[in-house]
Amino acid sequence: MATLTTEEKVKFLRTLEEDAEFRYAVAGLLGLDTIISELRKLREDFLMLVREQEKKWEENNKRWEENNRRWEENDRKWEENFKRWEENNKRWEENNRRWEEAYKRFEAIEKRLEAIELRLEEHSKILEEHSKAIRELIKRVSRLELAVGALTEASFARYIHEDLYIEASSRGEKILRRIRNYRVDETDIDLYMETDSTVYVIEVKIKPRHEDIGRIVAKVDLVRMKHPEKNVIGVLATTMIGREVEEYALQKGVKVYRY
């Protein structure tokens, strides 16, 4: 087996370093060309992988930047929401305070209303007692009015009878009858006075009105139908009569006697 000298080895190594063609030839003889090809391919694959990874990192960086922007936007929105919640909390606290004040006022109003209700109940009882007293007084006044009215009517009836009696007697008439509360066909007449030639239809009214004069005229017409042969005269005995009512009575042929 041949061996190289030291000089030959040095020369061989220098040639490998300086002559690429010689280096590839030696590599081919040694089977290194396949390894070198594989290494080149690996290097290319590695470079491609690196480029892909760089591309992915660039995409990831873009995504992270986008996510960072989104997170910043979300942070800003959360800060705004926190501010709004703080404002809402302040408003709720203010509203709660107002509701508490309003509730206290309502309680005070309820107490006042309760006190007013108690007073109203007391006043109602007092009013009821007063109403009873007033009703009793009204009954007494009504009875008194009836009594006074009856007494007044009786007095006026006596006065008017005396006056008409004197007038009739001065004319030579004879008094045939005098009837208090006389009824003609279900119609009441305060005083009915009849002579041999005249019938007096007498009504007693303390304070007469126009419609009272109309009633007297209607009663006169009714009696006139019963006694067509006699002169029928309507008479009003009163104490308080207005000028217009008195003039109306005279126009209707009703004689007025004041007392």
Residue 41 has pLDDT above 80, yes or no: no
For 121-139, what is the mean pLDDT? 80
Average pLDDT, the chain: 83
Residue 145 has pLDDT above 60, yes or no: no
Q: Using pLDDT thresholds of 50, 70 and 90, give the confidence band for residue 18.
A: confident
Q: What is the pTM of this model?
A: 0.47
Tokens representing residue 228 in the block: 């067509």
Q: Which CATH number fits domain 174-258: 3.40.47.10, 3.40.50.300, 3.40.1350.10, 3.40.630.30?
A: 3.40.1350.10
Which of 28-32, 156-160, 239-243 has the weakest average pLDDT? 28-32
Burial class of residue 4, CB neighbours in 10 A (0-12, 13-18, 19+)? exposed
Residue 213 has pLDDT above 90, yes or no: yes
Residue 202 has pLDDT above 90, yes or no: yes
Look-up of token digits 């006596």 = 158
Query: What pLDDT is attached to residue 221?
Result: 95
On whether the CB atoms of residues 234 and 217 are closer than 8 A, the answer is yes
Dist. CA 113–CA 121, nearest whole Å: 12
